[in-house]
Amino acid sequence: MGTFQKKVIFEGVATALITPFHAGGVDYDTFGRLIDWQIAGGADALVICGTTGEASTLTDEEHRECIRYSVERAAGRVTIIAGTGSNDTDYAISLSRYACEVGCDGLLLVTPYYNKATPKGLIRSFTAVADATDKPIILYNVPSRTGVNIPMSVYTELAKHERIVAVKEASGNLSAIATIAAELSDTLAIYSGNDDQIVPIMSLGGRGVISVLSNVMPKETHDMCRYMLEGDVKSAAALQLKMLSLINALFIEVNPVPVKTACAMMGLSSEEMRLPLCEMEEANRAKLAEAMRRNGLL
């Protein structure tokens, strides 16, 4: 492994923050309280308008306002990363430019979903956004949602861009992630995109996690990452395994349905979400509540 040549956006846990709704609109009062609570709880960064933030059902106006509001509310206390990827590259550029203008610290760009671009198309799309903006970029590989996996050849090419600095890997494929770590450790920082793989990915040199779990357990998720960064694998693994039942329960239905339900159970926000997402099945809700009780959240 060489020496990392680019600025690292964050180390530790970035909470992929939920977007709270009330009466059909974004509830900014609650959003502000969640941002403050996350910072107090030890989150190292916040991802705004990611998958967990229901970005795909936000209007353009809401998407922009959530980013602007979060930068203003955080007021430099924590790193703000804006989810600005799209299956329309021109729209991703527009959104990314806006996020940079209002002062976000970095961008999270998901692979264009539904279109299923070729490797050449992925390189051109991500490069177009990187060329049009001035903040560091994290690529987001989540084939289970987008229908396309970022191959190693694409990572190798994109890693040459000065502003493409990291990848959020949610493929679940540890062998592929190990290859990224082996070949691109000096140009692409790796973040776990799966809460059940924080310790394994960080053991390969990952810098942290972009997390759903930390919506409800920010301190413990931060601590797990901190232990790994300090080389205390035993303590980190103990936390990973202690919280595993909760992590699994948070994905018992499609994210962010369970985590939004959990936040509501904890009195952090309303349970309201937008179709096509809807309330949990009762049996799954009971399993989630049980896992939360086991972790001292209820």
| Residue range 17-32, pLDDT digits in tens | 999 999 999 999 999 9
The C-alpha R_g of the chain, in whole angstroms, comes to 18
| Sign of the torsion formed by the C-alpha atoms of 146, 150, 151 and 157 | positive
- 46-66 as b/e: b if 16+ CB within 10 A: bbbbbbbbbbbebeeebbbbb
* Cross-strand partners of 46: 15, 80
Residue with tokens 């937008």: 274
Q: Check if 114 is active-site.
A: no
Q: What is the pLDDT of residues 35-61, one digit of tens each?
A: 999 999 999 999 999 999 999 999 999
Mean pLDDT, range 131-137, rounded to an integer = 97
Residues 44 and 13 sit within 8 Å (Cβ to Cβ): yes
Task: Provide mean pLDDT across the span 97-122.
Answer: 96
**Averaged pLDDT of the chain:** 97
Looking at residue 5, what is its pLDDT?
Answer: 84
Q: What is the mean pLDDT of residues 184-198?
A: 97
Query: What angle do the packed helices 28-41 and 218-229 form, to 10 degrees?
Result: 40
pLDDT (mean) for 248-259 = 98
16: DSSP letter: E
98, 135, 140, 155: which is the annotated catalytic residue? 140
CA angle 15, 19, 21 (to 5 degrees): 155
Q: Which fold has domain 12-231?
A: TIM Barrel (3.20.20)
Whether residue 266 has pLDDT greater than 80: yes
Q: What is the pLDDT of residues 138-155, one digit of tens each?
A: 999 999 999 999 999 999
pLDDT interval class at 2 (50, 70, 90) = low
- Residue 52 vs residues 141, 195, 250, 281: alpha-carbon distances, Å: 15, 13, 11, 19
Cα atoms found within 13 Å of the Cα of residue 249, Cβ hemisphere only:
23
Shortest CA distance to 191 belongs to which of 216, 220, 215, 221? Answer: 221
Respond yes or no on whether the N-terminal peptide bond of residue 256 is cis (omega within 30° of 0): yes
Q: Which residues contact 76 (CB under 8 A, 6 or more apart)?
A: none
Average pLDDT of the segment spanning 247-268 = 98
What's residue 3's pLDDT?
A: 75
Residue 276: pLDDT over 60? yes
Domain limits of the chain?
12-231
Q: Helix axis angle, 60-74 relative to 28-41, nearest 10°? A: 40
268-282: average pLDDT: 97
For residues 296 and 122, give the distance between their C-alpha atoms in angstroms, rounded to a whole number.
Answer: 43
Q: What are phi and psi of 136, to 5 degrees?
A: -65, 145
Q: Residues 98, 168, 191, 260: which is the catalytic one?
A: 168
Measured at the CA of 94, the angle between CA 88 and CA 98, to 5 degrees, comes to 145
Place of tokens 């690292």: 8
191 assigned to active site: no
- Count the neighbouring beta carbons within 10 Å of the beta carbon of residue 69: 17
